[in-house]
């Protein structure tokens, strides 16, 4: 897996790729705290439940020097906001599906979320499964093996995390970004090159017209 450095001072003009990441899962599994830990390096002791969609941005420099910006969308898990979430699937390059290891019902809903993902995105979209809140070990209802087996069913990566203790949060985003760039980087670079060539061709045509 590629090493990555986080550099929010990267100039917008130096960004070579923009990838969209969607965080999904039931309400109260810790999606907002998970995001804040990654983007701001903090744990939110008190926060209001996400209503609809919220987003944050993180700049990453890959080990080959490529500058990547990921825009991360934090979604509400409540049923009444599912329609809003569906509208964001089509633009997602990667998805993090989170359940709470202390709430068996959030784990049982993983299948429903995966089914929704498959119904709304292309096969190019990368997906990882996260069992969150492992700091609450005494309250655990979902063991590690069950999480691993669930991820294996869909052939996706699995992480157990703690936003409070900052365990595997960054690693989850690193793995997902690596997967996204491996799948889409070359294709988007070729597309960008073609667009640049067309712009140059159009520019020359305009220059010829004026002369």
Number of H helices, E strands in the chain: 6, 7
pLDDT digit string, tens, across residues 53-78: 778 999 988 878 888 999 999 886 55
% of the chain surpassing 90 pLDDT: 53
Residue 82 is predicted with a pLDDT of 55
Query: What are the two backbone dihedrals, phi and then psi, of residue 171, each rounded to the nearest 5 degrees?
Result: -60, -35
Residue 2 is predicted with a pLDDT of 42
DSSP character for 46?
Answer: S
* Nearest in space to 67 (alpha carbons), one of 58, 75, 57, 59: 59
pTM of the model: 0.81
**Four-residue CA torsion sign, 9, 76, 161, 166:** positive
pLDDT band of 193, cuts 50, 70, 90? very low
Helix axes 31-40, 169-210, angle to 10 degrees: 70
pLDDT digit string, tens, across residues 170-184: 999 999 999 999 998
pLDDT band of 45, cuts 50, 70, 90? confident
pLDDT band of 44, cuts 50, 70, 90? confident
Find the helix or strand (DSSP H, E) in which 54 lies: strand 53-62
Residue 142 is predicted with a pLDDT of 98
- Tell whether the model's pLDDT for residue 168 goes beyond 90: yes
Q: Tell me the residue ranges of DSSP E strands in 63-209.
A: 67-75, 94-100, 126-132, 157-160
- Tell whether the model's pLDDT for residue 4 goes beyond 80: no
Q: Which residue has the tokens 């989170």?
A: 98
Residue 61 is predicted with a pLDDT of 84
Q: Tell me if 18 sits within 8 A of 69, measured CB to CB.
A: yes
- For 146, the token pair is 């069950």
pLDDT band of 194, cuts 50, 70, 90? very low
pLDDT band of 169, cuts 50, 70, 90? very high
Distance separating alpha carbons of residues 112 and 181, to the nearest angstrom: 27
Phi-psi region of 30 (alpha: psi -120 to 50; beta: other; left: phi over 0): left
């Amino acid at each position: 897996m590629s090493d990555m450095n986080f550099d929010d001072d990267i100039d917008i003009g130096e960004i070579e790729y923009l990838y969209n990441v969607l965080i999904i899962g039931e309400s109260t599994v810790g999606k907002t705290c998970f995001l804040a830990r990654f983007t701001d390096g903090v744990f939110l002791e008190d926060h209001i439940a996400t209503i609809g969609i919220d987003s944050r941005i993180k700049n990453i420099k890959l080990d080959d020097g490529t500058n990547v910006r990921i825009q991360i969308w934090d979604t509400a898990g409540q049923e009444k906001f599912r329609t809003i979430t569906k509208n964001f699937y089509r633009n997602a390059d990667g998805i993090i599906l989170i359940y709470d290891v202390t709430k068996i019902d959030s784990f049982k809903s993983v299948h429903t979320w995966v089914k929704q993902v498959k119904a709304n995105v292309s096969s190019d979209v990368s997906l990882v499964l996260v069992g969150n809140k492992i700091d609450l070990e005494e309250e655990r209802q979902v063991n590690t093996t069950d999480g691993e087996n669930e991820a294996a069913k869909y052939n996706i990566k699995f992480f157990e995390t703690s936003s409070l203790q900052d365990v595997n949060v960054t690693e989850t985003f690193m793995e997902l970004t690596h997967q996204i760039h491996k799948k889409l980087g070359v294709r988007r670079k070729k597309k960008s090159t073609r667009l640049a060539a067309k712009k140059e061709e159009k520019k020359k045509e305009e220059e010829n017209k004026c002369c």
